[in-house]
Amino acid sequence: MNATAQRTEAAILLAASEVKGARVINFQNENIGDVDELLIEPDTGQVRFAVLSVGGFLGLGSTKVAVPWLAFQIVSERGKIKYMMLDATRERLEKAPRVEGKNYERLYLANAAEPIFVYWDVEWTAER
Amino acid sequence: MKTILKTIAVSLLLIVVGAGGSVAWAKSKNPATNYSSLVGASEIKGTHVKNLQNQDLGQIDEVLIDPDTGQVRFVILEVGGFLGLGATRIAVPLSAFQITQEGNTSKWVLDADKEKLKNAPKVEGKNYQRLYIRAEAEPIFVYWRIKWVEPESSSNP
């Protein structure tokens, strides 16, 4: 799957505070969770990950997974985000790399971040 | 038509990344920022920004993201108090800030005095769509002396 081709429908800028809480659905049209946080790399300004709350979908407590921004398709309406799509079945989410607490420092490191990009089939582009 | 152009732009960007590693990102890397952690967007909101004279300029109200690339284009800064005006909001390119780590928090510095803030391009309401258009966005980059980086530009060296 080429996750980065034609990912959005409109030429817009998204407000980060509106992305937080956005609904995420999979290709089976199941509600898999919502966006809990966006993780930004300060020196490049790149949004590296969206942290998803997927506990309900998996039937677990508060389970969070970090997913590369470029793995999503963003659907917007009149300049506002409507929902985000992720190619994620229950099995794929169950095995996905999780995030514990707010330890985002770890995700800055290539040896922690790159496997997550690989898992979600997104090309890893950083030079660290 | 817009969608087609956008798709082409994204393809071009991918070609650049594929051919030269992280060329596209390295171009916009901010040398003044030394930060070895990712930062949560919700932690950025509300952060106070100071100038080089250590004056409080105001606080960050919003972070604007280009959904196609995941690049933060602008930060919306609320500067009302400092200017002695009402609530004034200005859009500033992210790379105009020096961001450094201070323990578990971040320190944001912007090289701007009262005069510079007063004349800075303002943002009315929450109509951020306008800022996507190059004709609107590029003058803001120029004002803050930040090199304009457009994915399309990689096709004409």
Distance from CA of B82 to the nearest CA of A (A): 24
Which CATH fold topology does A16-119 show? SH3 type barrels. (2.30.30)
CATH code: domain of residue B60: 2.30.30.240
Q: What is the pLDDT of residues A54-113, one digit of tens each?
A: 988 888 778 999 999 999 999 988 878 999 999 999 999 999 999 988 778 889 999 999
Phi, psi of B19 (to 5 degrees): -80, -35
Domain membership of residue B106 (yes or no) is yes
Sorted by where each begins, the domain ranges of chain A are 16-119
Cβ contact B30–A9 (<8 Å): no
B22: confidence class by pLDDT, cuts 50, 70, 90: very low
| Chains A, B: CB pairs < 8 Å | 153
Number of domains in chain B: 1
Among B34, B38, B63, most A C-beta atoms within 10 A, so best to mutate, is: B38
Cβ contact B36–A105 (<8 Å): yes
pLDDT at A3: 44
Percentage above 70 pLDDT, chain A: 90
For the residues of B55-123, what is the DSSP string, one character each? -EEEEEEEEEEETTTTEEEEEEEE-HHHHTSS--EEEEEGGGEEEEEETTEEEEEE---HHHHHTSPB-
Q: Which residues of chain A neighbour B146 with C-beta distances below 8 Å?
A: none
Domain membership of residue B96 (yes or no) is yes
Give the whole-angstrom CA distance, residue A107 versus residue A126.
Answer: 12
Q: Which residues of chain B neighbour A43 with C-beta distances below 8 Å?
A: 29-30, 33-35, 99
Secondary structure of residue A68 in the 3-state scheme: strand
pLDDT at A12: 82
Helix (H) or strand (E) holding B48: strand B48-50
